[in-house]
Amino acid sequence: MRPSFTHLGLVLVGAAFGASLAGGCGGTDGSGTESNFGGGGGVAANGGGGSGNGGGSAAAGGGIVFDGGFDDSAINPDAACDLQKYEATLVKKPVDIIFIVDNSCSMTNEVAAIEQNISTNFSSIIGASGIDYRVIMIAEQGPNGDESLCIGPPLGAQTCPIAANQPTVQNPPLFFHYDNNDVESHDSWCKMINWYDKPDRYAQAPGGWRIWLRPEAFKTFVEITDDGVSCTAGTWSYNDADSDAAGLTAAQKFDADLMARDPAQFGSAADRNYVWHSIIGVTANTADPTKAYHPADPIQLSLCTTAVDPGTGYQHLSKMTGGLRFPVCEGLGYDVVFKKIAEGVIKGAQVACDFPMPQPPAGKELDPSTIKISYTPGGGGSPAEFSQVANAAACTPNAFYIEGNQLKLCPGPCATVKADSTAKIEILALCKGSGPN
């Protein structure tokens, strides 16, 4: 009898993402490279017949050499399921966008610009794209005259303006405001990392601002200040000294501290799960009409008109993580800046590197040990095979592994598939315990 195979086809739908972004006087008391998004998806079953065979060739892109076509000779025909096809339409990985805003007395115009543009020129653009996003604001809420923020509808839920400090109003699942007093001129890094698991002053976030983060989401930070970094809080201490070298040291230390604070949320040095964009005191970039400095651009020490410091620590962190840098002195011109950031978030969505285990036909059970994955480049060509290995530690340049109910591509195939927005992934599997027909 000729064998028949369970043929589980998952069609990937995704796009490549370019990275988007991330005080002169004392406040009141209080303490070129792109970044990637992944995606997940579900599986819809369709009946059908056909061959489970596929010819093999080297896959385009990524420098990966794949094995040839599937070897069906070792498959026991009595163990095979009837032919089934499954298709998965992937959704883009969600994104958590965290704003950290300097509330010092030199930031009046900048705070007003944030309030005027964050809904119309930022969240509405991302929302229209269909990406699952949320915004977390780390800043003092209050009247604009005190350089405090009030975010009203449609993003926020507060009735603005407000005449005095009062409890924040959350607007789940889109907007969350963490207020533990003001963020001052130089201390945003110390405060955000210290407040990560600390209650806010209005008991809106009893476990700190971390309770609003989603482990499955990519993190996009946006720092807005006209100063540099110089602060200490507990064991955390940073000082960029307004210099290139000290800025690099401070950024490297903060990067390590942030990931150590919660690796599940922020990733590791080998696989960061965040990008940092900086709206800071740098002079305008006359070479770019968007006025953005890209990761390949050098550190800027010249200041824009109203800035106090160049924020070299923030600049280096943006360069390290694939973020952009903008001049804070744009004021009400933040419409361009926020649109640029929003566009980057949208472009950043990529296809997933992990897929749910498909469901077998009724009354059948898949044999995980028989699963193979075939990749067909979006531009056409014969499918190439990813072979199965035991776990992530056993990864080879053309392999995948099974973890729980997920099929996960190893780093090499993952990079190839992410770069191919029209790639097709097919899965070939057999069932357990089928008797002769």
Query: For 45-51, what is the mean pLDDT?
Result: 37
Rama region for 336: left / alpha / beta (φ>0; ψ in -120 to 50; rest): alpha
Q: How confident is the model over 83-115, as pLDDT tens digits? A: 444 554 445 678 999 999 999 988 988 888 898
Distance between alpha carbon 70 and the CA centroid of its chain, in Å? 35
Residue range 248-270: average pLDDT? 96
Burial of 130 from C-beta contacts in 10 A (0-12 / 13-18 / 19+): exposed
**CA-based R_g, the chain, Å:** 25
Nearest CA among 407, 432, 378, 426 for reference residue 60: 378
- Closest among 318, 340, 280 to 106, alpha carbons compared: 280
The CATH class that applies to domain 95-347 reads alpha beta
- Which residues, 6+ apart, have CB-to-CB distance to 359 below 8 Å? 43, 45, 86
pLDDT digits (tens, 9 = 90+) for 189-237: 999 999 999 999 999 999 999 999 999 888 999 999 999 999 999 999 9
Q: What is the pLDDT of residue 103?
A: 93
Residue 94 pLDDT? 85
Distance of alpha carbon 221 from alpha carbon 323, whole angstroms:
9
Is-contact 386 62, C-beta < 8 A? no
H or E element in which residue 117 lies: helix 108-117
Q: Give ranges for CATH 3.40.50 in the chain.
A: 95-347
| pLDDT at residue 22, as a whole number | 36
CB 8 within 8 A of CB 85: yes
Per-residue burial over 131-165, b = 16 or more CB atoms within 10 Å of its CB, e = otherwise: bbbbbbbbbbbbbbebbbbbbbeebbbbeeebeeb
User: pLDDT per residue over 281-297, tens digit each?
Assistant: 999 998 887 789 999 99
Q: How confident is the model at residue 10 (pLDDT cuts 50, 70, 90)?
A: very low
Q: 168-172: long-range contacts at Cβ-Cβ below 8 A with a sequence spacing of 24 or more? A: 168/141, 168/200, 168/202, 168/204, 170/204
Q: Are 54 and 425 in contact (CB under 8 A)?
A: no
Check whether 425 has a pLDDT greater than 90. Answer: no
Residue 408: its H or E element: strand 406-409
Least confident window among 21-25, 123-127, 241-245: 21-25
Comparing C-alpha atoms, which of 268, 279, 190 is closest to residue 236? 190
Q: Are 396 and 389 in contact (CB under 8 A)?
A: yes
Q: What is d(CA 209, CA 211) in angstroms, rounded to the nearest whole number?
A: 5
